[in-house]
Amino acid sequence: MKVTRKQVNNVFIQFVKSINGEVAQSYNDVDKYELDHNDQGYQIVQITNAQGGQHQPFGGCRYKPSQIIDLMQFSIKAIEVSKHGN
């Protein structure tokens, strides 16, 4: 089954909430997170300055839609377990 961009974005929003972050609404939302996408895949970036500078706090790899969903869902669950147990 094909994973849609909307599905990836929805999990991304959940992931950012789980790390107590905020989703960027603009290119210059400093310290907020953005889901970068191109032909090679997705990666999570954090905006570092008002000029739109970015860094990749979770690494520079790009992932296929199904892969990044799996990674984010795993991370969300790991965070929940670390906070509350099983």
Q: What's the alpha-carbon Rg for the chain, to the nearest Å?
A: 13
44 DSSP 8-state letter: E
- CA 31 from chain centre, in angstroms, equals 13
Q: What is the pLDDT of residues 38-63, one digit of tens each?
A: 999 999 999 999 999 999 999 999 99
Instruction: Determine the pLDDT at residue 6.
Output: 97
Q: What is the pTM of this model?
A: 0.92
Q: In the chain, where are the structural domains located?
A: 22-81
CA-to-CA distance for 5 and 21, rounded, in angstroms?
Answer: 21
pLDDT band at 84 (very low <50, low <70, confident <90, very high): confident
pLDDT at 86 over 80: no
